[in-house]
Structure 1
Amino acid sequence: MQTSVRGRVDYLPAYEAMQALTAARVEGTPDELWLCEHPPVFTQGLAGKQEHLIEPGDIPVIATNRGGQVTYHGPGQVVAYPLLDLRPRGYFVKEYVYRLEEAVVRTLAEFGVTGHRVKGAPGIYVRLDDPFSHARLPAPLPSQGGGGGEISFDGLGKIAALGVKVSRHCTYHGLALNVAMDLEPFSRINPCGYAGLTTVDLSTIGVSTSWNEAADVLGSKLRALLAI
């Protein structure tokens, strides 16, 4: 897998380049991993609802064809775009998403932070009261109606978001890990469609690291977990 550290690039040209590369893929086209950050931008997934854009202000909003709702990209965030053919790997979307999340969990562990999954809410979360605790999250209480109930983010902050697209078994879009950002723009949206969801970065929870270091660790974990 070829890794390209692209630094800060505008979102729309990166999105268009991913689409073009994926459309042109043939058997044997090399897999790629792009690591970058974007100037401030809100992106809407295919299911995105206008109600989750509360007050975008002067930050542009770009509609995309990835899954999920609205999220924010900005300086100080490592964005990873794996451009892969899943067929030689022998797994499909659900396993792919799990491996993306696992790469973030293992990246956070390198910095002493425990990442958590929340069932039904893709992405990785940390405990706000103790991000370094290894204790498991309590099991969710069953709903009275016997269904899944509402997703609870009590005591949690979201540190990484996922949004993927798979076309002809080939992936693009990816994940974003918050390192040291201006988090204010997240207050202008319902992040990933969840009103009141707290968003954090490594800096907020007491981890001091550079964008380059975080990108290097995340890239290494992704290459290991996504290798054929």
Structure 2
Amino acid sequence: MTANGCTVRDLGLAPYEPTWRAMQAYTDARGADTPDELWCVQHPPVYTLGQAGKPEHLLCETDIPMVKIDRGGQITYHGPGQLVIYLLLDLRRRGIRVRELVTLMEQALIDCLADYGLAAERQAGAPGVYIDGAKIAALGLRVRNGCSYHGLSLNVDMDLTPFTWINPCGYSGLKTIQLKDFGVSASHEEVRDRLVGHLARLLPPMRKVDAAAA
């Protein structure tokens, strides 16, 4: 499947660390003609800790593994029932800056949630998407050689308990919510396709980049 020049892949339920390493390898091997890709995935239970992350934001010992990774941000949780989309994009070809990509990702989430009658919003200084101050979607990116990887996560229908064992994204007491809490019964696949559609709609089209100038 392709959408606005992106190859869309559904990886199913895949362990976190090999997926992360595959993103790194794909980004490192990119050339001028390497396709952009969107990877849709669910992960088995895992905490991930960003580059500036503080381990003390894990509030208690658990059996859930924690992986220190190379995106920005603090600690978050991934588990089955959460939609994760990784954006492997050549930002130069899209003519988009990192801050613009973050705003675009947030808008795609807001538009997707609006399709289900939910009024979501940004919060200044706290990347992600919120409903009445509670977090329903998280963002985290890494850019290497002008190309992005990592991406976003949207809580659809999952066990939210592991979020109570951390300060989500470094914020003490931050409430985490999901689509199911609002009576949304859409399947994971439907939400995935809808969100991919919004991302593809908002992404600038690809353009040729002078290799000498890149």
User: Percent identity between the aligned chains?
Assistant: 52
State the alpha-carbon separation in 1 of the partners of residues 26 and 151 from structure 2: 15
Q: Which residue of 2 aligns with 1:38?
A: 43
Any gaps of 5 or more consecutive residues in structure 2?
A: 1-5, 206-214
Find 2:102's aligned residue among 97, 120, 138. 97
In the superposition, relative to structure 1, how do residues 103 and 22 fare at CA in structure 2: closer, same or farther (>3 Å)?
same
Q: Which residue of 1 aligns with 2:138?
A: 161
Equivalent residues of 2:155, 2:178 under 8 A apart = yes
**2:155 corresponds to which letter in structure 1?**
N
1:68-109 alpha-carbon deviations (Å, 9 max, x no partner): 000000000000001000002212111010001111001101
**2:191 corresponds to which letter in structure 1?**
A
Q: How many residues align?
A: 200
Q: Which residue of 2 aligns with 1:202?
A: 179
Moved over 2 A (4+): none
1:125-183 alpha-carbon deviations (Å, 9 max, x no partner): 002xxxxxxxxxxxxxxxxxxxxxxxxxxxx2100000100111100000000000100
1:205, CA displacement in angstroms?
A: 2.3
State the alpha-carbon separation in 2 of the partners of residues 7 and 106 from structure 1: 24
**1:212 corresponds to which letter in structure 2?**
E
1:217, CA displacement in angstroms?
A: 0.6
SS at match of 2:181: coil
In the superposition, relative to structure 1, how do residues 29 and 56 fare at CA in structure 2: closer, same or farther (>3 Å)?
farther
In the alignment, is residue 211 of structure 1 matched against residue 212 of structure 2? no
Q: Which residue of 2 aligns with 1:153?
A: none
SS at match of 1:54: coil
Equivalent residues of 2:108, 2:199 under 8 A apart = yes
In the alignment, is residue 119 of structure 1 matched against residue 96 of structure 2? no
SS at match of 1:204: helix
In the superposition, relative to structure 1, how do residues 30 and 56 fare at CA in structure 2: closer, same or farther (>3 Å)?
farther
1:24-58 alpha-carbon deviations (Å, 9 max, x no partner): 00111100000110000000000000110112400
TM-score, length of structure 2 as denominator length: 0.92
In the alignment, is residue 76 of structure 1 matched against residue 53 of structure 2? no
Equivalent residues of 1:56, 1:189 under 8 A apart = no
The residue correspondences of 1:1-228 to structure 2 (distance < 5 A) are 1-127=6-132, 156-228=133-205
TM-score, length of structure 1 as denominator length: 0.86
* RMSD value, Cα: 0.8
